[in-house]
Chain A
Amino acid sequence: MVKKYETPMLDQLETGPWPSFITGIRDLADNHKDERIQAVNHSLLGQLEHSYETRKGYWKGGTVSVFGYGGGIIPRFSEVGNQFEASREFHTLRVQPPAGNHYTTGILRQLADSWEKYGSGLITFHGQTGNIMFIGTTTENTQHFFDEVNSYGFDLGGAGPCVRTAMSCVGATRCEQSCANEHKLHLKLVNNFTDDVHRPALPYKFKFKVSGCPNDCQNAIERSDFAVIGTWRDEIKVKQDEVKAFVKEKGRKYVINNVISRCPTNCISLEDDDTLEINNSDCVRCMHCLNVMNKALSPGDDKGVTLLIGGKRTLKIGDLMGTVIVPFLKMESDEDYDRIVEIAEETIDFFAENALEHERTGEMIERIGLINFLEGIGIDVDPNMVSHPRESSYARMDTWDEEAEKWNNRKSETAA
């Protein structure tokens, strides 16, 4: 006999035009053919109602993993399991989605069938780190479900102090602004660290995110330790006939107010014949004009990526954006991909050895200074790493001549 609960508060979330997650959970509770799934969903609704009534959460963590791994599961044991027995153990499996979040209905159905055998029947595409979240199963079924999906190509993501599941935008598969092979970068980077994903042994989490252009649809700069952003260094491609057509359609006032005057470095002007002139050496690749006039303007051909390191959320010293570490890296040959993986390895090795417990990469850099980090991973300083040079004169500079010589030598090497 499946135990049911009164849920007057949750019932109020079944009204209104937006699809209701409560209706979905209740559908499983009332109508699924498997009594196990009915029971666990009724129990979940009961505990959630209890949370709504008391305005408190009642899950606690623990230690659950699958054979051979140390992470990837979010263990949840109910603190009120005596009242809500069928969802007493309600762990989440974090499963890495296919890079770029692409699926066929066939593979989604296969995942659903596996989860129906072993889990609650609730799935989220995707959690904030980027995992498929299979929400709600017992310790025992965690292993069975993993064994089954692992046998057809899926693997757990990260949880705890480890390399986490990566994310990448739709990019080259559908977007005209793509300046990189986001998919390949995603796989090359995160799959080089599979061991560090499955066995949490770092000071704290480490995230990769890849966005194909500076619109940064993956929020990589704000929320990843290692942000890879596609960009280009030659000229914006302009189809002047399309520019003229755009001006004709929208009017000069619109183009001046929404394109010309919005350029952050004033490098674009509307000519008397309704064509555009762009001073590309002043352009910061902000994307605004390309976004507004996406048919007339395109990124250049000399594409690559910018790397920014150290983005993270609030805990513990406050939110940090990533900092430019490599302004431009060409991404064509195998060696180019090897180089970006090498920078990631150097960064994670340095992080593992130098960060304090529970300190993110960005916080470590804040504590030790960017220069110590750069020297640790073997990257030379570059003016693109700063918004502006030092403002305070309180700094010791007695090796100035040597440092200036390094810069001059690098410059003459590049010129040679």
Chain B
Amino acid sequence: MATASTPRSPIESGCPDGLQYVHPVMLKNFGNWDYHVRPRPGVLCHIAKSGDKIWTVRVGTQRILDLFTLRKLCDIGDDFADGHIHFTLRSNLEYMVDKEEKVAPLIEAVEKEGFIVGGTGNSVAMISHTQGWLHCDIPGTDASGVVKSMMDELIDEFKKEEMPNRVHITTSCCQINCGGQGDIAINIQHTKPPKINHDLVSNVCERPSVVARCPVAAIRPAMVNGKASLEVDEKKCICCGACYPPCPPMQINDAEHSKLAIWVGGNHSNARSKPSFQKLVAAGIPNNPPRWPEATAIVKRILKVYKESAREWERINDWIDRIGWARFFEMTNLPFTKFHIDNWRGARKSLNASTHIRF
């Protein structure tokens, strides 16, 4: 028999202070850094105004860490670094050391255990991604598997700094796009309206909020087989899947018809041009586990052309701004279709109202 006990009240401490875990050299020089250099790919050296230096070794991992791997990374941090670890936005792990002579043995230890040193400067950075089939409730594909497959193929570009500028790749398992904007984004694109299980709708879904969720007002309440349900105007439906999270009986994921699409030119930085959103370049790509070779092949093709054609410091969006979209499609040998011409709100701003045409 369970014994009654008073539940413990939470301590609402919120976000912990990060400075208690920061390397002492970084803490000492807080806000007083002068410049940095990259002695080799995967390594940063920051020089403080005081003359102090800190070396950072950036490490790519599988992102979902099991206890053994996490402890192995901690062991390396204790034995070869100074016991401090920082994680980047793209889930790379960084070790910081206060002496140059610690760098080479640290890299050796990291690589000996199968981790990858790189991801700095003009590299293809670690792909930022979502949960996918491993944990999400609405995924159209896996995330970790797609990323593992692609990084296996892109690993040399992670370890080098040979791109014109940095390349951030993202993946998303549904069209909500939790993976965010990227120089290249690989996202699910559904191509058929949801299949509705009318027996379940009235028990599972709050129908007005499902109706409200549809971006194109294609959903309306309906009686189906004597049960309160919902129906979709399939001519209006854009197959976005927005109705599926609030109403799982409106199944949008489909083994065959949920495809992958590739978008390029998303750039978060304000450097040179204002931040930009990614643009559609390819779709209809099969969602093909366990290795998604078709998607990887297109990503590699885009990267190859970018690497050969872009000038130094051009991110993918800067490069396409210079060469134009017509040449992008020509050089990448990707088909340009009616689906590339936007028809969403604000679409008019994306049309070319000039004679600015490259021949």
Binding site for B on A (CB under 8 A): 9-10, 12-13, 15-25, 27-28, 31-32, 44, 48, 51-52, 54-61, 66-69, 74, 76, 90, 92, 96-109, 112, 115-116, 121-128, 133, 135-136, 143, 146-147, 150-151, 153-156, 165-167, 169-170, 172-176, 178, 181, 183, 186-187, 190-191, 194-195, 197-198, 214-219, 221-223, 229, 257-258, 262, 264, 284-288, 291-292, 294-295, 298, 313-319, 321, 356-358
Interface of B is mostly: loop
Instruction: Give Cα distance in the complex from A295 to B34, angstroms.
Output: 7
Q: Which of B256-289 contact A (CB under 8 A)?
A: 256, 258, 266, 268-273, 275, 277, 287, 289
Sampled A-B contacts (19; CB under 8 Å): A16-B152, A17-B155, A28-B67, A55-B141, A57-B139, A59-B136, A68-B10, A101-B86, A102-B21, A103-B87, A104-B83, A122-B66, A128-B179, A155-B15, A155-B16, A215-B271, A216-B268, A221-B270, A291-B271
Assembled-state Cα–Cα distance A216/B180 (Å): 14
Contact B74 A109 (CB under 8 A): yes
Give the residue name and chain of the A residue nearest to B141 (CB).
Answer: A55
A219 near B181: Cβ-Cβ < 8 Å = yes
Question: Does B138 lie at the interface of the complex (its beta carbon under 8 Å from any beta carbon of A)?
Answer: yes
Q: Is B63's beta carbon under 8 Å from chain A? A: yes
Residues of B with C-beta under 8 A to A123: 64-65, 67, 70
Interface pair B136/A153, CB less than 8 Å apart = no
Beta-carbon contact of B71 and A98 below 8 Å: no
Contact indicator A52/B289 (Cβ below 8 Å): yes
Query: Which of A66, A115, A170, A284 interacts with B67 by CB under 8 Å?
Result: A115
* Cα A315 to Cα B142 with chains together (Å): 20
CB distance from B120 to the nearest CB of A (A): 13
- Note all chain A residues with C-beta closer than 8 A to B291: 12-13
Task: Using A55-B287, A67-B7, A214-B270 as known contacts, say yes or no to A174 and B15 having CB atoms under 8 A apart.
Answer: no
A364 CB → nearest B CB, Å: 14
**Minimum CB–CB distance for A209 against chain B, Å:** 10
Of B170-178, B220-228, B229-237, B325-333, which binds chain A?
A: B170-178
Closest to B152 in A: A16
Q: Which residues of A contact B13 (CB under 8 A)?
A: 150, 153-155, 194
A224 to B14, CA, bound (A): 19
A174 engages B46 (CB within 8 Å):
yes
Of the candidates B22, B86, B137, the one whose C-beta lies within 8 Å of that of A61 is B137
Asked if A178 contacts B149 (CB within 8 A), the reply is no
User: Are A20 and B22 closer than 8 Å at their CB atoms?
Assistant: no
Contact call A175/B46, Cβ cutoff below 8 A: yes
Distance between A152 CB and nearest chain B CB, rounded to angstroms: 10
Contact yes or no, A96 B181, CB < 8 A: no
Given contacts A60-B248, A173-B27, A313-B180, contact A102 B139 (CB under 8 A): no
- B357 CB–A CB distance under 8 Å: no
The answer to whether residues A288 and B213 also contact, given A19-B115, A128-B130, A153-B16 and a CB cut-off of 8 A, is no
* A19 x B116 contact (CB < 8 A): yes
Would you call A194 and B14 a contact (CB within 8 A)? yes
* List of B residues within 8 angstroms of A175 by Cβ: 33, 36, 46
Please report which residues of chain B, range 126-164, place their CB below 8 angstroms from some CB of chain A when the two chains form the complex: 128, 130-142, 144-145, 148-149, 151-152, 155
Residues of A within 8 A of B9 (CB): 67-68
A99 CA to B20 CA, complexed, in Å: 10
Contact call A55/B255, Cβ cutoff below 8 A: yes
Q: What B residues does A174 contact at CB under 8 A? A: 26, 33, 46, 54, 56, 96
Does A90 lie within 8 Å of B135, measured CB to CB?
yes
Q: Is the CB of A121 within 8 A of B16?
A: no
**A173 and B67 contacting across the interface, CB-CB below 8 Å:** no
Q: Are B18 and A18 in contact (CB under 8 A)?
A: no
Beyond contacts A23-B62, A96-B14, A102-B84: 5 other A-B pairs, Cβ-Cβ < 8 A, are A97-B87, A100-B19, A153-B13, A215-B271, A257-B311
Residues of chain B with a CB closer than 8 A to A221's CB: 268, 270, 275
Q: Is B12 an interface residue (CB 8 A)?
A: yes
Give Cα distance in the complex from A295 to B36, angstroms. 7
A24 touches B180 (CB 8 A): no
Task: Tell yes or no: B100 within 8 A of A by CB.
Answer: no
Residue of B nearest to A76 (CB): B135
Q: How far is the CA of A166 from the CA of B16 in the complex (A)?
A: 11
Whether A122 contacts B64 by the Cβ 8 Å rule is: yes
Q: Which residues of B contact A (CB under 8 A)?
A: 7-22, 26-27, 30-31, 33-37, 46, 54, 56, 60-71, 73-75, 77-78, 83-89, 91, 93, 96, 114-116, 128, 130-142, 144-145, 148-149, 151-152, 155, 175-181, 209, 212-213, 215, 242, 248, 253, 255-256, 258, 266, 268-273, 275, 277, 287, 289-291, 311-313, 344-346
CB distance from B333 to the nearest CB of A (A): 26
- The distance in angstroms between the C-alpha atoms of A12 and B144, with both chains bound, is 13
With a CB–CB cut-off of 8 A, which chain B residues contact A108? 70, 73-74, 85
Once the chains bind, are B63 and A181 in contact (CB under 8 Å)? no
B31, A172: Cβ atoms closer than 8 Å: yes
Question: Which of the residues B19, B75, B91, B248 comes within 8 Å of A125, measured between beta carbons?
Answer: B91
Known interface pairs A18-B148, A170-B86; A147-B26 also in contact (CB < 8 Å)? no
**Cross-chain contact B15 with A96 (CB below 8 angstroms):** yes
Chain A: minimal CB distance from B286 (Å): 10
Cβ of A219: which chain B residues have Cβ within 8 Å of it?
A: 89, 180-181, 268
A67-B8, A96-B14, A128-B178 in contact; A357/B34 too (CB < 8 A)? no
A194 and B86 within 8 A (CB): no
A128 and B128 within 8 A (CB): yes
- The answer for the CA separation of A68 and B86 in the assembled complex, in Å, is 31
How distant is the Cα of A382 from the Cα of B256 in the complex, in angstroms?
51
A58→B313 CA distance, assembly (Å): 43
Pair B61/A19 contact, Cβ less than 8 Å: yes
A176 near B62 with CB under 8 A, answer: no
Contacting pair B273 A222 (CB below 8 A): no
Q: Is the CB of A128 within 8 A of B30?
A: no
Residues of A with C-beta under 8 A to B36: 175-176, 294
A357 with B212: in contact, given A32-B67, A52-B289 (CB under 8 Å)? yes
CA A257 – CA B215 in complex, angstroms? 45
Residue of A nearest to B175 (CB): A314
> Within the assembled complex, what's the spacing in Å between the Cα atoms of A107 and B86?
12
Q: Which B residues are CB-close (under 8 A) to A68?
A: 7, 9-10
Tell me, in angstroms, the Cα distance from A123 to B63 when the chains sit together: 8
Query: How long is the Cα–Cα vector from A291 to B152 in the complex, in angstroms?
Result: 30
**B30: chain A residues within 8 A (beta carbon):** 172-173
- The chain B residue with its CB closest to the CB of A313 is B177
- Minimum CB–CB distance from A319 to chain B (whole Å) comes to 5
* A181, B215: Cα distance in complex, Å: 39
Give the complex CA separation of A68 and B12 in angstroms.
10
A73 vs B50: C-alpha distance in the bound complex, in angstroms? 44
Which A residue's beta carbon lies closest to that of B61? A19
Closest-by-CB residue of A relative to B63 is: A124
Q: Are B10 and A66 in contact (CB under 8 A)?
A: yes
Q: Find A18's partner among B46, B87, B155, B256 (CB 8 Å cutoff).
A: B155
- A57, B87: Cβ atoms closer than 8 Å: no
A31–B66 Cα gap in the complex (Å)? 12
